[in-house]
């Protein structure tokens, strides 16, 4: 079976954030990263996007929501990988 290419045009999805319906276009890779991040945080995707949106709005020059999500994911992906790779039990067989 062939592995799907990571190079795919954005996919638009609708979410409700703070009671308002909005559409966000992200590449499938970012949707998967967002889904995984929400699971790690114990949140629904819409709740995590609302949190990212609240952080974005505080910026002196807020980017668009899709851009803010991508930046958040990159910043937090490195952090999440650090925590996984540096767990005390990381690298032990059967863990």
Q: 44 and 38 in contact (C-beta within 8 Å)?
A: yes
Domain boundary assignment for the chain: 11-85
> pLDDT tens across 30-55, in order?
999 999 999 999 999 999 999 999 99
Task: Report whether 90 contacts 84 (CB < 8 A).
Answer: yes
The two structure tokens encoding residue 81: 């990988």
What pLDDT is stored for residue 79 in this prediction?
A: 62
Distance (Å, rounded) from C-alpha 10 to C-alpha 31? 9
- Looking at every residue in the chain, the average pLDDT score rounds to 85
Region 21-27: mean pLDDT is: 96
Is the domain spanning 11-85 CATH 1.10.3990.20? The answer is yes
**Residue-level pLDDT at 14:** 97
9: Cβ–Cβ under 8 A, 6 or more apart, which residues? 27
Backbone angles phi, psi at 34, to 5 degrees: -65, -40
């Amino acid at each position: 079976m062939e592995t799907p290419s990571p190079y795919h045009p954005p996919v638009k999805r609708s979410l409700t954030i703070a009671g308002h319906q909005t559409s966000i276009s992200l590449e499938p890779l970012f949707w998967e990263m967002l889904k995984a991040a929400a699971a790690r945080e114990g949140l629904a995707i819409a709740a995590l996007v609302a949190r990212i949106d609240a952080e974005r709005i505080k910026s002196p020059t807020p980017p668009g929501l899709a851009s803010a999500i991508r930046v958040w994911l990159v910043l937090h992906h490195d952090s999440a990988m650090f925590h996984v790779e540096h767990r005390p039990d990381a690298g032990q067989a059967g863990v």
